[in-house]
Amino acid sequence: MRAGTRGSVGIVREAYSAWERRAPFTPEQVQRLVNKYGVDVVVQPSGKRVFADGEFERAGATLSDDLSGCAAIFGVKQAPIDTLLKDKTYLFFSHTIKGQLENMELLDKILEKNIRLIDYECITKNGTAGAPRLVAFGQYAGMAGMIDAIRGVGQQLLHQGLSSPFLSVGSAYMYPSYETAKCAVRDAGRAFTQQRAQQVWPDRFDPLVFLFTGRGNVNQGARQVFYHVPHRMVPPEDLERVLHEGKDLPPIIGCQVDLHHMVERRTDGGFDRKEYYTAPEKYKSVFYERLARHANVLVNGIYWDARFPRVLAKRDLERTDLDRRLHFVADISCDIGGGIEILDRSTTIEDPFLVGLGPKNDLDVMGVDILPSELPREASQHFGDYLLPFVAELAQGTPTASLAAELQGACIADQGELRPRYTYIDQLRRERLRELNGLPLTDERSSLQIEGSAVLRLSGHLFDTGLVNRMLDIVEAQSPHGRFHIVECMVGSQCESTMLLQLTMDGGRKQLDQVLTRMNTLVGDPEFAEAEAKLEELPSSFCNGDFKATIQPLGECEDTQADQGGATPRAETAGALAGGRTLAMQRALSLGPGPDAKDTAGFLDQGKDSSSKLIAPSLTKVAVLGAGMVAKPCAELLSRDSSRHVFVVSAMPGEAESLCARVGRTNLEAVLLNAQEEDDRLAALIKDCDAVISLLPQTMHVPVARHCIKAGTPLVTASYVSPEMRSLHEEAKAKGVPILCEMGLDPGMDHMSAQQVIDEMHEEGIEVKSFSSVCGGLPAPEAADNPFGYKFSWSPRGVLMAMRNPAKYLKDGAVVQVRGEDLLTAAEPFRMYNLPSLALEQLPNRDSTMYAEAYRIPEAATCFRGTLRYEGFSALMIELVNAGFLREDTSLAEILAAFPKSGSPGADAVQWLLDANYDDKKHGAQPAMDGLCALLESKLALKPGERDMTVMQHSFNDGERSSKLLVYGSKSDTAMARTVGLTAAIGVELMLDPVDPLASRATGVLVPTLKSIYKPALDRLASEGLVFHESVRA
């Protein structure tokens, strides 16, 4: 790469989102940089960028991952922290100038690496603070958001029983350009006007009212699109009257509101803009009552913060004294839990709408946070046009003091320090931490509490050695000047556990360090050598600085604690008892086995146990058996309904209690119960409940089912129907009890989505001649960072054993048999229709032939179900199997002694496993299978912050139709946990439907291939963001 006097700049590969397809410069602009400005441009290759790599190359750029020779590096969104290069100039949207806690780790790393950061958000006219921004995407957010909103309006109208031409409008990203999208909107608007001239609609949709808030670029972009829909604008002051009179109204009305239409002074109903911005507490919102309820569609372009009244509060939607037409909200500003309070999470470009919200489940909300990326070509052109004049001086490494005023004003960090204009970020950061934790903004004591707060990870044999109690005793000894909160507790195999523990010491970092010293001393104490414990302090970014669970706000003083027996009022409301033990934990301990445990008859007699929760007789009770990975999203969904009481049952001390604490709802209760050994207590619990979910191992489902049949309690499981379970069908049917099995991902979502398409094809008179279905739970591509391309979310032994299962399937009318020992050799390359770059392979999964009957497709000559892995997995595992790594009659040490140390993928993978991890006494002496499992479990687990993904695809008639699902894990739950846990929970919701419970339609042992099950279940899954995308090949 040339540097010389020409200067050089780099363009990074965007990593913020899969949908971030923008670039800071277009290929045409790169050509101008190279030829006109004399700047060398290095572009990191990217397959998802809207401009092909070859276009940049033809424009004169160099394609390379290496940007180390570039003086300045341009991106759009934040660069990944681990890719930042020392001593470079970076330009991107950093989202740090408001002290955003989630990006403070990025800012810290920029300072540490002596990076000069120039933020596009701060590039203003003449570099003057407060002057108009030169690089802004608000207009494109408004344009894309309005296009998407019109699509959403069409879908919402359809939900209300009204078909409209707006259904033909796609999301903005579905069009090759804004011009084609604009034409689609214009044509749909004209068709809508023609349709309405010939058809009478209900009054609440006649006319269709669009209400716009805001006056900035976002609003202008949205109004620019709305302009192409035939409409009449009505002043806000006249809206209610015009609708009431109903004279000569067009099919669509628009209404633009300003602040004085939305709020009024509490004392006299007046409005002063300057006063409102300086003292917003003097004002109250009148927006819903006077305007929003009269609109069908609200397009919000106002950015909100906590000082001001909300644009639309939840309590507004709950009002029963006012009629409401409002059924769709497009929150283009996308402030989560902000101006539009009911928007509790951002939506995605591929699934932009939250459906069925509000007390009547009739409100759809859109909140996509990267809308400009839906118009990547236009947005990139706009972006680059403003940046071009500044590139040459950056390419030469010009010192900050000599840069153009616009760049100087936008330089946040330089030479390891914040620039003078931005030193306020440190103070704002501290204030945000205090605000987040409910503390006064200026108080020495609150500063000490924040400094004295941390999250610790403690792992090892915590419970069976008693180490965890001794650890908590150290913290309790600091009371009342120290508190703890169990964030998460995961109990693994062989009693090994991991606990995340949040601490706050009122004395600040000095007191915290003293506590950590005592804890580390305890970890190293010979008394606890068998615990094999490890203690580490996690970075503050782990919880984004949120320590509310243990921070004690000013005013909750020691005198109050003494009156409360050591518990602060704040801790009391969080369910904490003396020393931080939670009510759920005490409940679990009180129900534990032993002479002090309650007898069976009194198991749920809440009045007999002072530590038990009182459950109102009218509450619906649900038992979730099992508190593992998939139980959290399951319990979270079920507990959203405050009229339910959900028992979370586990045999592992602390596991259920930890889950309940993480979800944090008062209608969740942890129960310590061993379902295998305490049959009477299990029976009593089931008898007392209205529904049961069994997330236990498959072998335990049948005993649970027998109890459910006897008690008349519906049951849901996520496992395949075993012969033993199938034998209970007639008995369950005779008792009128539904036992809904295979209600997870695979099996579960696969059955429902496949059967839905099959039934649709049959209704259209189309025979299903071939059917193929594949599914896999995998690490996301960025987390597949090991030779196996795999990470375990369940027992490695289970995965390895599954590689020995025989399989059979139909192909072109013939049955293909695959012996267990040949399964890996049957792997074939696989590509998803919409993601051809994702290199996968498919292996046959057990007996597929039975599904021709199960899915009611006797005409199918091909019927295949497979499991997905990353390409190369099977070839690697064949090496290990052939070498004897799965043997149980030979030690791992013996296998390793005969196995080559290099020269093949398998040899390299084994060496990777052994590096800094292998203990000859611990692993080598074990049978080969056990030793390998231990190594795999220790090295192939998802790390904090890593994502998994679930991939599913059905193909009908050789791809003429297809149905696809791709789900990524989040910070709170893995994709596997969500897809399994939510599906099982939705099964219970079908059971408990007050209008049409499943038992009224089907009983006995069931799988979800009935339309009465799969249709409502898939609709409910879609509302949770788990959407199958169906396509028909032209």
Nearest by Cα to 375 from 590, 222, 567: 222
Give the span between the Cα atoms of 341 and 339, in whole angstroms: 6
Bridge partners, 953 (sequence order): 774, 964
- Burial code (b: 16+ CB inside 10 Å, e: under 16) for 857-893 equals beebebbbbbbbbbbbbbebbbbbbebbbbbeeebbb
Beta strands 644-650 and 668-672 are: parallel
Q: Which two tokens stand for residue 691?
A: 């529904």
Phi, psi of 540 (to 5 degrees): -60, -25
Asked whether the beta carbons of 172 and 142 are under 8 A apart, the reply is no
User: How far are the Cα atoms of 118, 259, 305, 395, 834 from residue 406, in angstroms, in the given order?
Assistant: 10, 31, 27, 16, 42
Nearest by Cα to 325 from 195, 201, 148, 213: 201
10 Å CB burial of residue 911 (0-12, 13-18, 19+) is middle
Active centre residues (catalytic): 746
Task: Quote the radius of gyration of the chain (alpha carbons, Å).
Answer: 31
Q: Which two tokens stand for residue 255?
A: 């209404």
827-831 long-range contacts (CB < 8 A, ≥24 apart) are 827/869, 827/873, 827/874, 827/875, 829/871, 830/774, 830/866, 830/868
The DSSP element (H or E) to which 447 belongs, if any, is helix 444-451
Q: Which two tokens stand for residue 869?
A: 């892995």
Q: Which two tokens stand for residue 424?
A: 């306020």
**3-class DSSP assignment, residue 290:** helix
Give the span between the Cα atoms of 254 and 242, in whole angstroms: 12
How would you classify residue 985: left for phi > 0, otherwise alpha for psi between -120 and 50, otherwise beta?
A: alpha
Q: CB count, 10 Å around CB of 4? A: 8
Give the span between the Cα atoms of 789 and 743, in whole angstroms: 28
Q: Which two tokens stand for residue 212?
A: 């716009």
Asked whether the beta carbons of 70 and 88 are under 8 A apart, the reply is yes
Give the span between the Cα atoms of 1014 and 991, in whole angstroms: 13
User: For residue 843, which amino acid is it?
Assistant: L
Beta strands 862-870 and 770-779 are: parallel
Give the span between the Cα atoms of 926 and 888, in whole angstroms: 9
Q: Which two tokens stand for residue 416?
A: 């390891």
Q: Which residue has the tokens 């802004």?
A: 136
User: For residue 706, which amino acid is it?
Assistant: R
User: For residue 615, which amino acid is it?
Assistant: I
Give the span between the Cα atoms of 745 and 734, in whole angstroms: 29
Cis peptide before 207 (omega within 30 of 0): yes
Nearest by Cα to 696 from 688, 707, 687: 707
> What is the edge-to-edge ordering of all strands in the sheet holding 208-212?
232-233, 252-256, 208-212, 297-300, 328-331, 363-366, 353-357
Asked whether the beta carbons of 231 and 249 are under 8 A apart, the reply is no
Bridge partners, 1029 (sequence order): 964
Phi, psi of 612 (to 5 degrees): -90, 155
Task: Report CA 29 to chain centroid distance, whole Å.
Answer: 36
Q: Which two tokens stand for residue 929?
A: 């299978």
